[in-house]
Each structure stands twice: as C-alpha cells, then as structure tokens.
A and B are shown apart, each in its own frame.
Chain A
Amino acid sequence: MLSKLKKEEPKGNRIIVTVLGPDKVGIIAGVAQVLSANKINILDISQTILQEFLVMVMVADMSESTSDMIELKEKLAEKGREIGVRIDAQHEDVFKFMHRI
C-alpha cells in the first residue's frame, strides 16, 4: 500500500501519522482536518483493525506546512484527546532508518 508512494520524493518533509484507539466515526475526518488546516498534503492512508482497535497510518508531506513538527504534534495530540484516540506523528526517517539499510 505505502510502497507505491516512494517514487515521488519530496525529500526530508514526509511524516508518518499513526492513530491507535477504538474505532469510531470521524477519526479520519478529524485527522485530515488538522492536516489540511496546516497545509499538509496526505499522500497515503492505510488502516486495519487489530484486536478491536483501529490502527491507521497516514503518510503526509509537510513541505508546504504552516506549522513545524512540534506544533503539529501538539495539535494532533489535542485532536486525539478530543476524539478519544492516540494520534502521533513522527518523521519518516525514524522508520526508514530502523527498517531499511
């Protein structure tokens, strides 16, 4: 799913947003709203249900973002508290560095 996006390479500005929590209405909308309000382009969404919990992963591009990573994480965490799920964002490098040589 996420692999096809690798080719278009706006390097250094891609983040991975993860959402963990009970499935309910409006999670994607809530996260997307925060991202679009900060001019962050969603490149891919992938989700699955694990033991009744929703696990959603978004790849997004921050190159036009109006917030920096730190502000964005705070806004996402706040939205997560509002919806009742845990939302986190990390730079894509963390994942690439760990899993790819």
Chain B
Amino acid sequence: MLTLQEILETVNMVQEENLDIRTITMGISLRDCSDPSPLSARRKIYDKIVRLAGNLVKTGENIEREYGLPIVNKRISVTPLAIVAESSNTDNFVDFARTLDEAAAAVGVNFIGGFSALVHKGFTNADHKLIDSIPAALASTSRVCSSVNVATNKAGINMDAVYRMGQAIKKTAELTADHDGLGCAKLVVFANVPEDNPFMAGAFHGIGEPECVINVGVSGPGVVKKAVETAGNCDFGVLAETIKKTAFKITRMGELVGRTAARKLNVPFGIVDISLAPTPAIGDSVAEILESMGLERCGTHGTTAALALLNDAVKKGGAMASSYVGGLSGAFIPVSEDAGMIRAVEAGSLTLDKLEAMTCVCSVGLDMIAVPGDTSAETIAAIIADEIAIGVINKKTTAVRLIPAVNKKVGDYVEYGGLLGRAPVIPVKPFSSAAFVCRGGRIPAPISSLTN
C-alpha cells in the first residue's frame, strides 16, 4: 500500500525539512501536595514529580530512536503553583520555584511550567505572593517557567494584574540583565489561557485536567514551506488545500508519538497541539512560509491575510489528523525564534504594530519581542493590555512575552542561542500610557452579541 514516493516524502520531511516533535509534555497535578508546612509541601511536590516523570526523558528518547523522529524537548507542566502553595504558611514562594527547578533537573527535563496564577477576576493571597515572587524565582532558577492569566472573555480584563505584570516583567529583566533578560523569556501573560498547552513558557496543568497526562506539540514550518514552494503559483484554494494536507501529515506524527508515549508511560493521552512552532534553524520559519506565498518580506501589506489563511488551513488539516486537538493550536510568531521574522524586523518591514495585527488571526500573541531597556513598566502594561483586549474581544487565547533589553536601545540585540534565538530591539511608541493603565480595576467582560 505504501508507495516509494510516500516513504521518501516522510524521510525527506524528517531529514531535510526539520519535521520534529517539538515537545512531549507531561502534565502532573500537584493538588494533593498542599501542606501547611511549606517544607512538607515542597517535599511532596518534589517526590511526586520525580515519581511520575522519572522515565519521561528515557521514554521520549526511546520513541525518538524507534520511530526515527526527533523529539526535541521533554517537559513537565504542573498545577498553577499559587493553588498548590496557597495553604502553606509562608510568604516565600521563591523556594517553591527552586523545588520545581530541582525536580526538573532530577528527571532531566529542560523546562517545567506552572509557576503560575489565574487572576482574571481577582487575586487570592497566594496569587499576590506568587506574582511578587516571579522576578526572584525566574532569576534564581534555570528551568522554571511562569505564566499568569489576567483575562478571559467571561471575566473581562483584570487591569490591576496587567499593571503588576508590567512591573514584574520589568523587574525580571533587571534581575536577569546579565543574561539579556533571559528571565522574561520564561514569563508569559495570558488571556483565555488553555489548560492543556504543552508549549513553554506558557504550559501549566489546568485544574480540570486528570492526575497525570501526556500532551504533545508538533512542529514543522519547514515542511509547510516546502509544500507551499512546491505548489508554485497556484490559486488560494489550491494553496489552502496544500497546507491542509501537509498539516494533516505533520499532526499524524504528533498523534503517533503522543499515543505511544502515553502507552509506554501508562498515563492517559491528552491532546496534540498542532501549532506551527518555528525554530532559528534555516528554513524552519513561519515568516518564510508567508514569504513563499508571495510576500517580499514578512510584515508587508498582505501579511495578516496570508497568516490567516495559513493558520486556518493548519487547523483544518490538523483537526482531521488527531482525535484530540488542544493547547494553543495555531501558528506561533515569536520574533527571536524565527530567522525570517528577525530579518523582517531588521529590514523595517515588521513592526510591533504589525505583529499585534497578526496576532488577531493566529495564536498566540506578542512573543519573544525585545523592547528598549528604558521602556517603562506602564508602557509594557499598556502593550499587554492591547494584546489581551484582542484575545478577550475575539474569544481567543492571546499572550505577551516581552523582553525589556536592559541598557539596550533600538538596533541592539538580545542573544540567547538555542531554540530561544536572538532578537533585535524593536521600537515602542514614545508617548505615555501611564494615566490609563494606572486607573486600576477591571475592564468588564465584553458583550457576546452585536459582533461587529
């Protein structure tokens, strides 16, 4: 039944076009680890993670070799820590982050997500403590990722949380200035955050999730780009069809790996996240897919339409290929992690405003964007507020992962290497938003009829 062409197509996708499984993420509930004694709580957390995820990396590596598919990351997401640590008698949540870091190191995963709080309607005491600890937690750990949900379309936007996250991002950048504000690459502010997202830095194990679960994130911008190039000068119907078919094939690999991993680890299979996730590798770029559709540079007029077509076709193909699609499931447009996006910023084609417009039609938001070091916390909060408003009004997930580049200005770079890449510092508007973001309170939930 299999033809030579089909076999070669698969082999080429893996060997030439960077098809990989971006992450196998084990979600672990820590709800049973609460304890009045912070020390006991931390011991329970450590023990549970090591017990459940002890074989995660080894199993991932075995699947990788057995199927010949690269599995780039093995990761863990846990219950939002503000919930777990809530009953402990302590103000010091940084120690909880250190415990997560130690557990992640012990099982050999590169990131653990869940130093998180859900504050879309308001703060509990623990939420306050957690958000206060974020800068120090990210500065004193290497594997912990943090996220805060500040809005939903049912609750509106908690503008107090937005402002505090602006301050937290600023502080995190200062505390990790030696590493170009690396802490900010591990901190995401969300609207409508999904509970089963396997991708960092926004992954956590939601409160509606089971005890333990395997979620998988696929990748493959390189494969889609090649397919678009091969399709040549076709009309939009054929173009969308080509992308759909390609997304189907990519997602099938995620489904296969996810189910196999779940079976081998004896854990339920959760979802495949069908997001197109770029890497700095040559050709593995979402921007280059858009350019191969006929745009001279990503960011020019037509980019939003091209991205809308791409994102929708990927969802249609991916949804057919997996029994459970979830997480973020859209195209990612992180600037630092995508060589084509970096080029577009350097060429002056891609700006913060255009990136914001693009997030209206794809997941997930303003991602891995470096802004000048002298950008105020209020301006950062205002950028967050804009992006979050897009998510709330359009009933979708949006997120912000900004990096204030301490002591750097437009034209300079922040450099991380690896999957996080490098980002040119992008200009922000010089006019103040302070009086707006400092008002405090919540922006009410939007009306769901009258949809224009």
Contact pick for A2, options B1, B8, B10, CB 8 Å: B1
A2 to B2: give the CA distance in the assembly, Å.
6
Q: Are A99 and B2 interface neighbours, CB within 8 A?
A: yes
Which of A25-33, A35-43, A85-93 touches B?
Answer: A85-93
In the assembled complex, A65 has its CB within 8 A of some CB on chain B: no
Q: Are B68 and A89 interface neighbours, CB within 8 A?
A: yes
In the assembled complex, B3 has its CB within 8 A of some CB on chain A: yes
- Given the complex, which residues of A lie within 8 Å of B51, measured CB to CB? none
Q: Are B4 and A99 interface neighbours, CB within 8 A?
A: no
Contact pick for A57, options B7, B15, B68, B252, CB 8 Å: B7
Most buried by A among B1, B249, B256: B1
- Given the complex, which residues of A lie within 8 Å of B338, measured CB to CB? none
Given A69-B65, A70-B65, A88-B68, A95-B4 contact (CB < 8 Å): no
A93 to B69: give the CA distance in the assembly, Å.
12
In the assembled complex, A60 has its CB within 8 A of some CB on chain B: no
In the assembled complex, A67 has its CB within 8 A of some CB on chain B: no
**B interface, size bucket:** 20 to 34
A73 to B65: give the CA distance in the assembly, Å.
8
- Given the complex, which residues of A lie within 8 Å of B249, measured CB to CB? 98-99
Least distance between A58 CB and chain B CB atoms (Å) = 10
Least distance between A53 CB and chain B CB atoms (Å) = 11
Least distance between A4 CB and chain B CB atoms (Å) = 10
In the assembled complex, B66 has its CB within 8 A of some CB on chain A: yes
A-B contact pairs, 18 of them (CB 8 A): A3-B1, A3-B2, A55-B4, A55-B8, A70-B62, A86-B15, A88-B68, A90-B69, A91-B66, A94-B10, A94-B68, A95-B2, A98-B252, A98-B253, A99-B6, A99-B10, A100-B1, A100-B2
Q: Taking beta carbons and an 8 Å cutoff, which residues of B are in contact with A?
A: 1-4, 6-11, 15, 62, 65-69, 249, 252-253, 255-256
Q: Taking beta carbons and an 8 Å cutoff, which residues of A are in contact with B?
A: 1-3, 6, 16, 18, 20, 46, 48, 55, 57, 69-70, 73, 86, 88-100
